[in-house]
Amino acid sequence: MRDNNWCRRTNWTRLEKEDFFTRLSHCRSQADGNAMVQAYTLLETDEETLIPEAVELFNYILEKWPDTFYLDTVYFGLAKCYENLNDVRKTIEYYHLIFELEEKKPNSITAAAEHFGLYVAQNKLTQYYGEVVSMLNKRQKHFVFPLSLFLVNASIALINADLGKNSLAKVFAEKAIEAANRTDSGFRHHKKVGLVGEKEKDIIVELKRLV
């Protein structure tokens, strides 16, 4: 295994895990960052058996480095893990922890709001509809990449559809599809960053039914 891949393991056997923690213990700096990279690597495999392992590693980071610079990113990883595990209570809990951090540091806004919005909309968590719409409206200036614009408009479209507001749902669905069709971020040096990808194809199908 190449040294630069030691914290990007997609296999997590007992021996792999032991070797990872041995290497982690030898890190002179950025140990929490390396642990976070490994946790996200496990999460992004989308393998059912590895999601609980990602949760365990994210929690290890919180226990070992409670004041980590990556706290909001760890919370976001945990929210995504619990989405995969279909644990609504835990998912909402970690999204709200991110928002609490953002209130303390208003200049450090993450992408959590738009992901929270889509999670609420897709799962028809009606008790959070008002919170989502209010939050997304307040943060409009932060949504600049096509993916962010897609998630925001998709969330509002699905919420309005569920509320029977079909005309509004159509308007926002069209905006979301427009963002999905973009092939350029609009940023000169980062043209392919923040585009809508394969992961969103099922949502696009759902949105097209609203148009």
Q: DSSP secondary structure string, 74-93?
A: HHHHHHHHHHHTT-HHHHHH
The amino acid at residue 185 is S
Inform me whether the pLDDT recorded for 80 exceeds 50: yes
Give residue limits of the domains in the chain.
Answer: 1-110, 114-211
Q: What is the pLDDT of residue 109?
A: 87
Rounded to 10 degrees, what is the CA torsion of 63, 68, 72, 78? Answer: -30
Helices 146-162 and 201-208: angle between axes, nearest 10 degrees: 50
User: Is-contact 77 70, C-beta < 8 A?
Assistant: no
Given this model, what pLDDT does residue 3 score?
66
- Is residue 179 within 8 Å of 204, Cβ to Cβ? no
**Tens digits of per-residue pLDDT, 116-157?**
999 999 999 999 999 999 999 999 989 999 999 999 999 999
The pair of three-digit structure tokens given for residue 211, joined into one six-digit string: 């148009």
pLDDT band of 82, cuts 50, 70, 90: very high
- Name the pLDDT band for 11 (thresholds 50, 70, 90): very high
Q: What is the mean pLDDT of residues 50-71?
A: 97
12-21 CB contacts, 8 Å cutoff, 24+ apart: 12/42, 12/50, 12/53
Neighbour-count burial of 113, counting CB atoms closer than 10 A to its CB (0-12 exposed, 13-18 middle, 19+ buried) = buried
Interacting residues of 165 by C-beta distance below 8 A, sequence separation 6+ = none
Name the least confident of 9-13, 93-97, 111-115, 187-191. Answer: 187-191
Residue of higher predicted confidence among 1 and 106 = 106
Q: How confident is the model at residue 199 (pLDDT cuts 50, 70, 90)?
A: very high
Residue at 172: amino acid letter: F
Q: Is the pLDDT of residue 1 over 80?
A: no
Handedness of CA 51, 56, 57, 63 (dihedral sign): positive
- Residue 67 sits at φ, ψ, to 5 deg, of -105, 25
